[in-house]
Amino acid sequence: MIFQVGATLLDACVLATLEKGDTYGYALTQTLQQVLGVSESTLYPVLRRLMKEQCLKAYDQPWQGRNRRYYTITAQGRERSKVYKEEWKRYKSGLDGLLG
């Protein structure tokens, strides 16, 4: 992708993805990488920050003798995601008008 993804848009995409269901970090990275081209080294600091801001929580689940860290969205994260989606609609509409 030739367009750069800013922090706010990345936050919005992480929260929107987790609204669909809990997932572990690697799977989340793969999902976002397909659409946005982000790497694990970009995503994990975002996850830590969103947890610090109480938008996400994490829990571990055993998998093949190891633990996987799963992320889940909180009520505060759902509220922020709602704001991001409303803002995205306005932003996208403006861009669509410019780029046609």
Each residue's pLDDT tens digit, 9-65? 999 999 999 999 999 999 999 999 999 988 888 899 999 999 999 999 999 999 999
For residues 26 and 84, give the distance between their C-alpha atoms in angstroms, rounded to a whole number. Answer: 24
Structurally, what CATH architecture does the domain formed by 7-99 represent?
A: Orthogonal Bundle (1.10)
Q: Taking each helix axis from N to C terminus, what angle separates 40-52 and 7-19, rounded to the nearest 10 degrees? A: 80
Identify the band that residue 1 occupies on the pLDDT scale cut at 50, 70 and 90. low
Q: Which phi and psi (to 5°) does residue 50 adopt?
A: -65, -30
Domain boundaries, the chain: 7-99
The DSSP element (H or E) to which 72 belongs, if any, is: strand 66-73
pTM score above 0.85: yes
Identify the band that residue 86 occupies on the pLDDT scale cut at 50, 70 and 90. very high
- The token pair at 5 is 């993804």
